[in-house]
Amino acid sequence: MSENERRGHHRPAFMSPAAMEAHGGAYDPTEEIHAAHETASALVHAGRAAADPDLTTRLVAIVDDIGLSTLAELWSQRPARSLPGALWRLYVLREWVRRAPEEASREYAAGMRFTTPDHAVAGAAEPPGPTEMSRVIDEILRGVFEGDLAVALERAAAFCRVVSAGRADVSVGDAAAEQAANVLGLGDDLAASARLWRADALA
């Protein structure tokens, strides 16, 4: 028996539109959009309503349980400035830090001197080693479920701006410049999502 079976839940199964048609089902993109927003809202609400540190820990590490591809099926196609889009980007950011902590540490450290205010907002410890990177990104995600979600998004945005500045500094070539710009754009989307949440308009 698998761990999921012992816990009494299973990883959801997702079918592509072609697979659904092959099984005799009609693909409805409206239902897919609805599912994305409903699951994102339910996840945030469950974490914030429970006030349970153990549940928060499980939600922060949900990718470890269900896999990033499952969240991708649910949320990756939604707009960046929506609740599922913002959550997707937070979990992708966490996964990058977990998979490449040395790279994250190097780029963050390089960017600190260019973006001191953003470093203060992100809240990473100094020196920002691999362990500190993993800790701060988990703290940011915990804020989604335990604190002010807008603050969590603003911290993530600041984190991205520091990393972007550092990546632009330590890397060379057009690809590196494009990647730095992409991370900066990610930060902009997270900051915009924070503003939308404060206006009760992030759905």
Residue 70 · residue 11 · CB < 8 Å? yes
pLDDT tens sequence across 88-129: 999 999 999 999 999 999 999 999 999 999 999 999 999 999
Q: What is the mean pLDDT of the chain?
A: 88
Output the pTM of the full model. Answer: 0.84
- For 6-62, the pLDDT digits (tens) are 333 333 333 344 443 444 445 467 899 999 999 999 999 999 999 899 999 999 999
Q: Is residue 103 part of a domain?
A: yes
Q: Is residue 118 part of a domain?
A: yes
**What is the Cα–Cα distance from 194 to 173, expressed in whole angstroms?**
32
Structural domain including 181 reads 20-198
Q: Is residue 95 part of a domain?
A: yes
Give domain status of residue 4, yes or no.
no
pLDDT of residue 172: 85
Considering the domain boundaries, does residue 10 fall inside one?
no
The better pLDDT of the pair 3, 53 is held by: 53
12 assigned to some structural domain:
no
Q: Is the pLDDT of residue 157 over 70?
A: yes
Q: How many domains does the chain have?
A: 1
- 5 part of a folded domain: no
